[in-house]
Amino acid sequence: MRTVLLHSFLILIAGVILTTAEAQVRLPAVFSDNMVLQQKTAATIWGWSSPGQKIYVTNSWNNTTDSTRATGGARWKLTINTPAAGGPYTLTVTGGNNSITLKNVLIGEVWVCSGQSNMQWSSLNGLVKEDSILATGTHPYIRLLPVTHSTSEYPQDDQSAVWKECNTETLKSFSSVGYFFGKKLQTELNVPIGLINASWGGTPAEVWTPEDAIAVSPELKAAADKQGPNEWRPHQTASAYNAMIAPLTQFAIAGAIWYQGESNVGEALLYDKLMRNMIGSWRKAWNKELPFYYVQIAPFKYGRKYGSALLREAQMKTMGLPKTGMVVISDLTENVQDIHPRQKRGVGERLAGWALAETYNKPVGAYRSPQYKNLEIKKDKAVVYFDHAPEGLMIKSNDKKAKATEFYIAGEDRNFFPADVKIEGDHVIVSSREVKNPVAVRFSFNSIGIGNIFSKSGLPVAPFRTDNWEVDTKEKE
């Protein structure tokens, strides 16, 4: 009898323990103290609990409570309306026998920062000119979420990183491009800024693209299959997306910035298609036409003359997608032997210029680099017209006698010669004694070209070519 009673008692205790354990409500790591929620939106809050468990979410900005019930799969999700920017607030989630209160929550603008090493690089990598600025980077209204490097074969619904206040310690290992982007936004908009850094050095764009967005194209799949193993970074299609982006796609954001392309130079002709598929898949996952602003890769001696020129050309084409924008950074490159330009502040601030102008409709002045518009042939001269140079063009040089560089001109024989250039307002007149009947002009169309033609507002002209001739991608520099 005593044995039976003891057995029953143990079963009762086990049941109580099991019931208590099952009743625990849980949240993904992206919901933590110090987080930023996107302002003026229906923000999704989600997590796990016992099947059928009633869940309550209470916010302190208007002291209202929203509720839902967990599914049979032990998952729950609801949306809450966020106010205009402000804080700090609290957010309390209650379910069953436990309650989670998130503290120091801000409402503002949230951006994802992604790409490879030039996005990942921080002051730990030695940015010299900007280290002193980064060393004083304490901003209580900027919050950082540094997503941990990880991969997965399948899309995940959680990751391990939590939000941190921006200070001199947390900023040390955070994306410097992302920080300067966020700092500019915070200064100009005067709202809290949340920055999510999901970047990984050396990664090709395929690892940030969902599997189905690659599989739809035999060309993209074949190119993705060429990405070989590397001890420093993943190479499998979608592997970084699944572990580092997918867990965030229910979290409301304003948009994304992107600095990547160096690892795709070998398949440059497919990069525009790849990026269109990737951006489209991100927008589908977030169920929003996310603003997507990115960086054109910098001049670097890859060893092949045209590989990176073709990739920059592809990046220019991607701007055909709505709500995209590209910053040109050739002038922020000091050493074409270094694939990591050290001037990250200018990169971040130029990206912020696009966001401020296009996403937030702020009058920021010039934010777009002059871009090739059209070509006219007038006898032995070629006249090149540009968009986005309303005040005209100029040569930027400390030498008052400097001539325009990186312009080349060719006739029907397709042999290019260095050109003489005359600037007239928003167009240039290009010629050469070697070319009597010109048909094509190129500007900085090579791997290491750093031109000195700028808009009078101070932005470098984007590299271009007026022809569509096939180039030898194996030709040496």
Pick the CATH number of 2-106 from 2.60.40.10, 2.60.120.260, 3.40.50.300, 1.10.8.50: 2.60.40.10
CB-count burial class (<10 Å; 0-12, 13-18, 19+) for 6: exposed
Pick the CATH number of 107-359 from 3.40.50.300, 3.40.980.10, 3.40.50.1110, 3.40.50.2300: 3.40.50.1110
The CA distance from 354 to 401, in Å, is 33
Do the beta carbons of residue 346 and residue 329 sit within 8 Å?
Answer: yes
Residue-wise pLDDT for 261-311, tens only, equals 999 999 999 999 999 999 999 999 999 999 999 999 999 999 889 989 999
Do the beta carbons of residue 383 and residue 372 sit within 8 Å?
Answer: no
Do the beta carbons of residue 245 and residue 282 sit within 8 Å?
Answer: yes
pLDDT for the residue 135: 74
Least confident of 17-26, 129-138, 333-342: 17-26
pTM of the model as a whole: 0.94
pLDDT for the residue 400: 84
Q: What percent of the chain has pLDDT over 70?
A: 95
- By three-state DSSP, how is residue 426 classified? coil
pLDDT for the residue 22: 54
What confidence category does residue 133 fall into, taking pLDDT thresholds of 50, 70 and 90? Answer: confident
- By three-state DSSP, how is residue 306 classified? coil
CB-count burial class (<10 Å; 0-12, 13-18, 19+) for 24: middle
pLDDT for the residue 474: 85
| 2-106 matches 107-359 in fold | no
Tell which phi-psi region holds residue 190, choosing left (phi > 0), alpha (psi between -120 and 50) or beta.
left
pLDDT for the residue 11: 40
| Domain assignments of the chain as residue spans, ordered by start | 2-106, 107-359, 371-465
- Which of residues 410 and 132 earns the better pLDDT score? 410
